[in-house]
Structure 1
Amino acid sequence: MSLPKPAMRGLLGKRLRFHLPIACGLALVAAASFKFTVTEPRKQAYANFYKRYDSMKEFNATREAGVFESVRPAGK
């Protein structure tokens, strides 16, 4: 009694027909979950921040702290 020969002809094609749709489906699920759990909340957080952000107030606070060397604090 001898062992049967392994089916090598067309093995890659058979395995790809099975695994490629699964891999594509998992990639789509991962991309969609990343989009809705990471990027959308991040975009919303940036939008909320810039709705109430006052750049002149930030500039004046930074200038008063003495961070800028070329801009003198007000009143000096």
Structure 2
Amino acid sequence: MASSALAKPQMWGLLARRLQIRIMGAFIASLGVAALYKFGVAALRKKAYTDFYRNYDSMKDFEEMKKAGIFQSAK
């Protein structure tokens, strides 16, 4: 009866090797999330603010709020 010898498991440096792989994976995942936030949230928000303030008239808005009675000291 022939028995095949099992390969010895690697024990030396196993923790360091696995940590290195996991840290690289976490770093790549964090870069991906940061890029998604920058282009998916921040850029769209910046564009929305730019579009809003492009044609915003603060004096017109002030006059409308004054007519509505929001300000107590402005007549």
TM-score range, shorter chain: 0.7 to 0.9
Q: How much does 1:61 deviate? A: 0.2
User: Which is further off, 14-23 or 52-61?
Assistant: 14-23
Which ranges of structure 2 fall in alignment gaps of 5 or more residues? 1-7
**What amino acid sits opposite 2:26 in the alignment?**
A
Q: Aligned match of 1:68 in 66, 71, 74? A: 71
Question: Which contiguous aligned blocks of 4+ residues in structure 1 show a shift greater than 2 angstroms?
Answer: 9-12
Which ranges of structure 1 fall in alignment gaps of 5 or more residues? none
Q: Does 1:43 align with 2:39?
A: no
Q: Does 1:23 align with 2:26?
A: yes
Identity %: 42
CA distance in 1, matches of 2:68, 2:15: 67
Secondary structure at 2:69's aligned position in 1? Answer: coil
Work out the number of aligned pairs and report it: 68
Q: How much does 1:11 deviate? A: 4.1
> RMSD between aligned alpha carbons?
2.0
TM-score by length of 1: 0.79
TM-score by length of 2: 0.80
